[in-house]
Amino acid sequence: MGGSIKLPYSEFFTKGQFETLPETLAVQERRTTLVLGIPKEVTMVENRVAIVPNSVRVLVASGFRVLLESGAGDKSNFSDHAYSEAGAEICHDKKTVFQANILVKVAPPTLEELDWMAMDQVLISPLHLPIINENYIEKLLSKRITAFAMEYLQSSDGSFPIVRIMSEIAGISVMLTAGELLKSHSGGRGLLLGGISGVPPAKVVILGAGVVAEYAVKTALGLGCSVRIFDNDISKIMRLQTNVGRHLHTSAINPVYLAHQLTSADVVIGAIHSKHGRAPILVTEEMVSRMKEGSILIDVSIDQGGCFETSEITTLESPTFIKHGVIHYCVPNIPSQVSRTASNAISNIITPLLVKIMESHNMENLMATHDGIRNGCYTYKACLTNEYLSRRFGKKYTNLSLLLTSVI
């Protein structure tokens, strides 16, 4: 018979092929998830947010779960929807956000907000030495919070990136503000900062030669102003001239010569910074009384008490006042007025730090290997690790490097 030969069914299949195999699913490798909290700022003069939506995408991709308090980005024109699309979870309960493993703020938490925090959290926010008090430090220590001061975080070259970038913004902003205040409708002298052909430019006097002054000088020169710079630190003046790239009219702060220059100044910028405590008063009320009517005083140092004797803190709702015929602008936290730009700048600096925390899987190892991060830590667990705060409040100081050696 010529038909095909039928083989037994079992010969077509091996035993393994014939039997039903158990179902298996591809399972992703488990990663440690850290929860990042971004609360809404409650300080009146604070419009910035610490992390912007584009950075949230990076953080979520690196393994973070991001909790954002609803409305946290509104004052910087970042909507809840933008954050949600980037991967953040929108929370309407502030206290939920404050339970995150890591909390990031652009203003120090209030005492009430500290009460909402959990044990052993990580806090990244400014320290603001002039306004810090002993009760604030006690609450951090009692909750074993590891706190980092944004302004003391250092980059690899030893600079302080948060301080520098905010100073750049402040320096540019003050000159643009001065230009508006000089206009007639603002009560000023009706001057154009740079002048025009045949008409001399405005005379600008700048007190200080730091980063704020550098960017104020660059902006003023770009607008065509006549600039005078005063500072007692000659090395700062030399560095400023090098960075600006041209010879400038500079002087040490001699009260007699300064008073003479102020009598003919159209704009005076106070950009003196004190490392600890109040800024020194360099311009007395008598000097102000001799200035031209309608001239402008802008006190960038108002965050530290101000460097003009006539300075008083003002608000964005009522930013100026007139004394001796001189318009005073003394609004603190100038970078917050350009909150979207400032928020992006802060986020660009903080996001890589957060990614490093996630990648390290161990905060202690990260601090031990990064001097700049360690420099910003002022409380670790229940220990005060900032020597200045220890002396100021009479509390025990613990060397952070020694602490890390004992726990690693």
The residues assigned a catalytic role are: 128
CB atoms within 10 A of CB 28: 5
Tokens coding 224: 């065509």
Contact between 249 and 280 under an 8 Å Cβ cutoff? The reply is: no
Nearest in space to 41 (alpha carbons), one of 336, 350, 378, 352: 336
Contact between 195 and 188 under an 8 Å Cβ cutoff? The reply is: no
Contact between 48 and 170 under an 8 Å Cβ cutoff? The reply is: no
Q: H or E segment at 357? A: helix 339-360
Strand partners, 205: 228, 268
Nearest in space to 375 (alpha carbons), one of 127, 109, 62: 127
At 324, is the secondary structure helix, strand, or coil? coil
How many angstroms separate the CA atoms of 376 and 391, rounded? 17
Tokens coding 390: 């220890």
How many angstroms separate the CA atoms of 264 and 11, rounded? 107
How many angstroms separate the CA atoms of 342 and 316, rounded? 17
Q: What is the DSSP string of 135-158?
A: HHHHHHHHTT-EEEEGGG---TTS
Residue 109's identity, in one-letter code, is P
What are the E-state strand segments in 138-224?
Answer: 146-149, 203-207
How many angstroms separate the CA atoms of 373 and 149, rounded? 10
